[in-house]
Each structure stands twice: as structure tokens, then as C-alpha cells.
């Protein structure tokens, strides 16, 4: 028997058990954990193979602003593990809605790109679009406060081009190395799997408060942009800076935008919570119904073009994904229109199995050295391999290009193509070297010949260290109601955080964005405002870096406001596809009902009659009118506006219906347009609606009422009603 002196030292799991995994509770009862349980408290970070990690904040690049290197085994291990953490549901963007459509170019863009679909104005390029929330699972609500994915697959004659973006133009992090950390933080906490589809919890704000680079994106996520009225009424952005290359080989930088022709509109936070309970499929249903009814959603594709010579002319770095290019500095040129005109035939086969990848490009479109984009170029293929079962996910019908595919790749799980012949390599002489490589002049893809002369380094360019100027620009650009909504959102989210130190740290971040914002959030939380933020080393710099070298540089933007950043300045000239509730009962006046109903429908609105019961109601003229919903099944949060027609018996019935009064009060509270025939004023008097406020239309003349009502609905909301702060945003 070996003595203790001769016993070999314990290693691996055994040592870990001895050192960490046998905790001593206060009651002295030893609770031995399972051998495979790990506790990282006071431990050093390592790879999965035990190698100590010196820098978990930055990927390995060819110079501070250079491309991310394939050599970065630490990044690849981290991203690969993350990509395979959920099977088979997407880790992020699990809940989505899709639709088919076309893209049509307005004017040839040959001056800046040789991409065929951006040169030929005669063709219609087929597209498939998938919209999604980010944080929630497939069973979560459409109306969670969240970023929305906006991914477009162009089936071009040169292969598939995927523009994989969001409804916000920036992101939380600057380097792909931090993406698994971000998503781990915002997902339900791993010990209890709560909360679902929500960022209002400790782990998310703990991470954010230690990552000052997230400040700009936090402003967007806490704004009304995170609560779109419809997927059809939100912008889309490519997020990253890409390159366009023309036939002469001249490159320029580009930012991609999608501009909705219905304008950019949101719901109120209180309303979003109600919708989640009434109809968690609200966005999905809205998109489907609009397409089925022929009210096809439309967006214009916009580009911001920056010549390579102007790469360093801005106060921010074009390669920084936490920054946008204000439209006042580089206007958005609208170059084409996308129309979604067909719903999927099968949700799983199309919407669920569609596989996007930022690396799916065509000649004339290329990448920049944005370090978040560089990491995504690796991650997407890796994700699809596990989610869709193997390397042949490109053969699933929704993912197939419209052009033939020929290469030497063979076999693999679920292979559909039957390749003839014995040759599957290149070069070969047995098959005339087929398939042959394509010369660049004949349409072959060639990467942009960017000069690289740099050292391999794990670091971040100091041009990325301004974390607050654009966060300030965004907040200052918002209207007063939008600013109030951001304050309410931050107060709500941080109010759900249980750890006081995290709240205080986050308030320190807010002091760097806007003093009024920080003061009002601190007041709502009942916390004294800190003098200045503290940026902990473990949250923003490598372990061997100096604090002062990595702390945010104070940059004062010369641009104080950007009108494009506020939804108050969006399109407000249409009520096409807006849903209007008409509250009526037996005895409704025929003329009062029909005149307004028909006028609304003539300009593209959708009307529904809501009554005390289903079936039909009988008008004063003894006409039977079909009821669309009863007050038990309908809710004001599912409509954009409300109208109450005349008719003595109908008015009395609606006035006596408690659910009808609640319907009107709630619509008023959520700042919607409300109209009533003057003879229906008894109903209005039973509510707490102030008839003198904006968006309230009462008139005896049906024509005048309709004209004013249509104008009011097109305004979307009358947020000025919130000034008394009667309702949370």
C-alpha cells in the first residue's frame, strides 16, 4: 500500500474536487458536489483544453484595425462551442417570421459595384426575408423588448447574397470574441432558466455595466425601436461597414439600409405587455394577414457610400460596429424597392430551415475588417452545420440558389445531389479539369486586394475607444416623449436588477451619456447618482493592459442631433393596412356607420365591427351587419384607432358595456386616434377621454369627421397626451 509521501499528486478533476468542489457550509455539514461540477470562483480563465487565456476581449488580428486571423484558435473554440449550444433551435433569433418577395432596382449602381443585381434595372431578383426577435425562444412573445433580426436572402443570377441585419444600425459589442458572453448574459439565467425573452435581469446588466462600448446600443434597445408596431413598420440595417467594388476594381465603403414605405412606428411599453397576453403572435399574424390581403409590405434599399479616401474623415471609426454614420454626414441614397408578396407554404420547410450567412456574397460586394463582422464570417456556417444536420443544408429548397451549383464537394449527411463520374478533385486530367475555375473577368469572385502590413496582435484600435458620443447623439435626437420612454425603460429594467452594485455601475455609465437621463433614472431607482463611472479592467481591457490605455476617450461630436434617429420624423401620410375598431350594437345608424367605414377602407385601412356579441347586429334601417369580434375576444391594443358611430339604441348599449368603455379608455391611454359621431357623445362622456386633446375627433358631419379621423390615424400616435405621465411608456 502506498504511503501519503509516495502518492502521486492529484490532477484534473480530482484536484478540482479537493480544492473547490467540497464546500463547507456554515452548518459544517459537508455537501460533496458531483465530480463534474465546476466552480470558477477565484480561478484563472483557460481554454477547454486547459490553456490559460491572456485576452478574452479581443480576437487575433493583422494589426489593430486588421482582419481577424484564421489562426485564432481561442476565438474559434469559443465561437464553435457557442454555435453548438442549442440543438436544434437557433441560439438567437429562434422566433421568426418569413415571407417571399422581389427586389427591383431603380438605377444602375455600376459606378460603385459590379454586382449584377445592382446593375440591371430590368430584372426582378427573388428574395426571402426572415424577421425575428433575438433573445427569446420559439415560444416567446413577438412583443418582447428586443432587437429584431432583419435578414434578406437575394437569389441573384450570380449566387445567393445574404444581407443579415437588424432593425437597429449598431450592436452591443465591437469584437466577435464577446458575442457568446453577450448572449449568455441576456439569455435566461442558467441556474433557473428565467426570465424568458427579457433583458431585465442581473446577468444582462452586469455584463452591460462592465462593457461601456455597449452604451450606444443600449439607448436603441431601451427606445421605442425595440417595440415596433409591425414588422412592416421598422427599418433594417446591415449594421457593419461593407465594401462595394466596381468593374475597374475601385472600392468604396457602404452601409446598407431598409426604409419602410409605411414609416417607422412603435407601440407603447404598457401596450406591448398587454398585446403579449392577448396575442403573442401579433407581429407574425400582422405580416401574414397583410400579405394575404394584398397589402404587400414594401421597403426601399438605401446605401451610404463612403470613398476609400474618406475612411478616416469622421470622428468615429467606420469599422466600429457600435457606431453609425449620421445621415446628415452621408445621405442615404434609395436605390431600389423590395416587396414581400407571398407567404410561405410551409413554416418549417421555409421560415425555420432558411440558413443565412454574412459570408454569402456576390462579385462586387466584399467585407471590411470590422472585427464583429470578421467573427460572424466563421460563425454562421458552423451554426448551420449543427442546426440543420450537416454540410448539405444548402440543398434544402429554401436555401438553394437559382443558378446551377458545380464543385468537388461530395457526400455528407442528407446529401440530395447525385454526382456522376469518378472525379471529385482539382486539378484533374480525367475530366478536363471540370468544373473549371472562373476568371474574374468572367464573373469569378475575387477578394478585394487590401494592403496588409501589420503585426499579429490581440488588441483594439484606439479609434474604437469613444463609447459615449453617439449614445449621447441618439438620446439628444429623440423627441421629448421618446426620451421619456427611454427613461422609463431603463428605470424598469434596472428596477428588476437585484444587485445594487450593478444598478450603481450602470448609473455611472448613464452619467456619461446625458445628465438629465442619469438623474431621472437614479430618482426612479431611489439611488444617489454616482459622481463618475468606474470601468473595471475585467470588463473592458486585457488582463495585462493598463486601465488608462483602454478607458473611453472623451469625444465631443460636432453633430448635436440627427433627425433620422427620431421616429417623430418618420412618414405620416398613410393609413394603409391600419386596423380600425368600430364599436357598435343593435340600432346603429346606417349612414353614420357606413360612411366612415367605407371611407376608411377606400384609403386602405382595415375595419372591424366590435359588438357586445358575435353574429350580426341590426341597424336602424333594419339591415343585418356581420360582427367581426365581440368585446370578450377583442382588445384595443390590437387596433390602431377606434370609431363610435351614432344610433340611439347602439349608443346606449355601448355606454352600458363596461368592456367597451375600457376599450376606449385604453385606446386613449395609449395615445391613439379616437373618433365619434356627435350623437355618440354619451359614450365618450362615460370615459375619461378629454375631448379637447389631440387625436380626438367628434363631429356631426360624416365627411368632415372622416377627413379629420384619417389625418389623425396617419399621425400614428399623439404622444403629447403622456405629459401628465398617466401611463408608463
Instruction: Tell which residue, 352, 61, 271, 143, has the closest CA to residue 719.
Output: 271
Cα 555 to Cα 686: distance, rounded to the nearest angstrom? 55
- On whether the CB atoms of residues 95 and 138 are closer than 8 A, the answer is yes
Which cell numbers in the block locate residue 154?
437575394
- Could you identify the residue written with the cell 470578421? 374
Q: Is 524 exposed, middle or buried (CB count within 10 Å of its CB: 0-12, 13-18, 19+)?
A: middle
- On whether the CB atoms of residues 540 and 213 are closer than 8 A, the answer is yes
- On whether the CB atoms of residues 165 and 150 are closer than 8 A, the answer is yes
Sequence-ordered list of residues with C-beta below 8 angstroms from that of 138, at least 6 positions apart, any chain: 89, 94, 95
Cα 437 to Cα 157: distance, rounded to the nearest angstrom? 17
Cα 502 to Cα 490: distance, rounded to the nearest angstrom? 13
Instruction: Tell which residue, 246, 371, 253, 239, has the closest CA to residue 310.
Output: 253
What is residue 642's three-state secondary structure? strand
Selecting among 58, 93, 265, 476, the annotated active-site residue is 93
Confirm whether 116 is a catalytic residue.
no
Selecting among 58, 119, 160, 166, the annotated active-site residue is 166
Q: Decide the pairing of beta strands 606-611 and 579-583.
A: parallel
SS3 annotation, 693-704: CCCEEEECCHHH
Q: What does the angle CA 639 – CA 102 – CA 243 come to, to the nearest 5 degrees?
A: 105
Chain centre to alpha carbon of residue 243: 23
Cα 574 to Cα 263: distance, rounded to the nearest angstrom? 9
Cα 491 to Cα 468: distance, rounded to the nearest angstrom? 19
Confirm whether 93 is a catalytic residue.
yes
Q: Is the dihedral of CA 198, 203, 204, 205 positive or negative?
A: positive
Instruction: Tell which residue, 356, 286, 406, has the closest CA to residue 127.
Output: 356
Q: Active-site positions?
A: 93, 166
Amino acid at each position: 500500500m502506498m504511503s501519503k509521501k509516495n502518492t502521486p499528486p492529484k490532477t484534473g478533476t480530482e484536484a478540482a474536487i479537493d480544492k473547490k468542489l467540497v464546500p463547507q457550509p456554515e452548518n459544517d455539514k459537508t455537501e460533496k458536489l458531483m465530480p463534474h461540477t465546476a466552480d470558477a470562483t477565484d480561478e484563472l480563465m483557460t481554454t477547454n483544453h486547459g490553456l490559460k487565456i491572456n485576452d478574452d476581449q479581443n480576437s487575433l488580428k493583422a494589426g489593430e484595425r486588421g482582419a481577424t486571423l484564421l489562426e485564432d484558435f481561442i476565438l474559434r473554440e469559443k465561437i464553435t462551442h457557442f454555435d453548438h449550444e442549442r440543438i436544434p433551435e437557433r441560439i438567437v433569433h429562434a422566433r421568426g417570421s418569413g415571407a417571399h418577395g422581389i427586389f427591383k432596382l431603380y438605377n444602375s449602381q455600376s459606378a460603385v459595384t459590379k454586382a449584377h443585381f445592382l446593375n440591371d434595372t430590368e430584372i426582378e431578383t427573388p428574395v426571402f426575408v426572415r424577421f425575428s426577435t433575438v433573445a427569446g425562444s420559439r415560444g416567446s412573445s413577438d412583443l418582447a423588448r428586443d432587437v429584431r433580426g432583419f435578414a434578406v436572402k437575394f437569389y441573384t443570377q450570380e449566387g445567393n447574397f445574404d444581407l443579415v441585419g437588424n432593425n437597429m444600425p449598431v450592436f452591443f459589442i465591437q469584437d466577435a470574441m464577446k458575442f457568446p458572453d453577450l448572449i449568455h448574459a441576456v439569455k435566461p439565467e442558467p441556474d433557473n432558466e428565467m426570465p424568458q425573452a427579457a433583458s431585465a435581469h442581473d446577468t444582462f446588466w452586469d455584463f452591460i455595466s462592465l462593457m461601456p462600448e455597449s452604451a450606444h446600443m443600449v439607448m436603441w434597445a431601451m427606445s421605442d425601436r425595440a417595440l415596433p408596431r409591425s414588422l412592416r413598420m421598422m427599418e433594417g440595417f446591415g449594421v457593419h461597414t461593407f465594401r462595394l467594388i466596381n468593374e475597374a476594381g475601385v472600392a468604396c465603403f457602404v452601409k446598407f439600409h431598409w426604409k419602410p414605405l409605411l414609416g417607422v412606428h412603435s407601440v407603447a411599453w404598457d401596450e406591448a405587455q398587454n398585446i403579449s397576453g392577448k396575442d403573442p403572435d401579433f407581429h407574425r399574424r400582422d405580416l401574414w394577414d397583410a400579405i394575404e390581403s394584398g397589402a404587400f409590405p414594401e421597403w426601399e434599399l438605401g446605401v451610404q457610400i463612403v470613398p476609400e479616401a474618406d475612411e478616416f474623415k469622421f470622428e468615429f471609426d467606420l469599422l466600429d460596429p457600435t457606431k453609425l454614420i449620421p445621415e446628415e454626414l452621408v445621405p442615404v441614397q434609395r436605390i431600389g424597392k423590395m416587396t414581400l408578396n407571398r407567404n410561405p407554404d410551409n413554416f418549417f420547410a421555409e421560415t425555420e430551415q432558411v440558413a443565412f450567412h454574412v459570408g454569402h456574397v456576390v462579385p462586387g460586394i466584399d467585407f471590411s475588417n470590422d472585427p464583429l463582422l470578421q467573427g460572424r464570417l466563421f460563425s454562421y456556417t458552423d451554426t448551420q452545420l449543427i442546426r440543420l444536420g450537416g454540410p448539405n443544408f444548402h440543398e434544402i429548397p429554401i436555401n438553394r440558389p437559382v443558378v446551377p451549383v458545380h464543385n468537388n464537394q461530395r457526400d455528407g449527411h442528407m446529401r440530395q445531389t447525385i454526382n456522376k463520374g469518378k472525379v471529385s478533385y482539382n486539378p484533374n486530367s480525367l475530366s478536363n479539369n471540370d468544373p473549371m475555375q472562373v476568371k474574374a473577368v468572367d464573373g469569378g469572385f475575387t477578394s478585394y486586394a487590401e494592403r496588409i502590413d501589420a503585426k499579429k496582435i490581440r488588441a483594439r484600435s484606439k479609434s474604437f475607444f469613444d463609447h459615449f458620443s453617439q449614445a449621447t447623439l441618439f438620446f439628444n435626437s429623440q423627441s421629448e416623449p421618446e426620451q421619456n420612454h427611454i427613461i422609463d425603460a431603463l428605470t424598469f429594467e434596472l428596477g428588476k436588477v437585484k444587485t445594487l452594485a450593478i444598478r450603481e455601475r450602470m448609473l455611472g455609465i448613464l452619467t456619461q451619456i446625458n445628465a438629465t437621463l442619469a438623474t431621472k433614472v437614479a430618482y426612479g431607482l431611489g439611488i444617489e447618482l454616482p459622481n463618475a463611472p468606474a470601468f473595471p479592467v475585467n470588463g473592458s481591457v486585457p488582463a495585462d493592459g493598463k486601465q488608462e490605455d483602454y478607458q473611453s476617450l472623451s469625444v465631443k461630436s460636432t453633430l448635436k442631433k440627427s433627425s433620422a434617429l427620431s421616429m417623430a420624423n418618420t412618414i405620416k401620410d398613410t393609413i394603409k393596412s391600419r386596423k380600425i375598431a368600430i364599436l357598435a350594437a343593435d340600432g346603429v345608424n346606417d349612414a353614420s356607420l357606413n360612411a366612415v367605414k367605407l371611407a376608411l377602407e377606400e384609403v386602405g385601412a382595415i375595419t372591424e365591427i366590435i359588438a357586445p356579441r358575435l353574429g350580426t347586429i341590426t341597424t336602424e334601417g333594419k339591415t343585418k351587419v356581420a360582427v367581426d369580434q365581440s368585446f370578450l375576444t377583442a382588445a384595443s391594443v390590437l387596433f390602431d384607432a377606434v370609431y363610435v358611430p351614432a344610433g340611439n339604441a347602439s349608443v346606449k348599449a355601448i355606454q352600458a358595456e363596461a368592456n367597451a368603455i375600457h376599450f376606449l379608455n385604453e385606446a386613449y391611454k395609449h395615445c391613439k386616434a379616437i373618433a365619434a359621431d356627435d350623437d355618440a357623445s354619451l359614450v365618450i362622456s362615460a370615459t375619461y377621454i378629454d375631448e379637447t386633446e389631440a387625436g380626438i375627433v367628434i363631429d356631426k358631419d360624416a365627411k368632415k369627421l372622416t377627413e379629420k379621423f384619417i389625418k389623425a390615424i396617419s399621425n400614428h400616435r399623439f404622444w403629447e397626451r403622456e405629459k401628465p405621465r398617466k401611463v408608463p411608456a
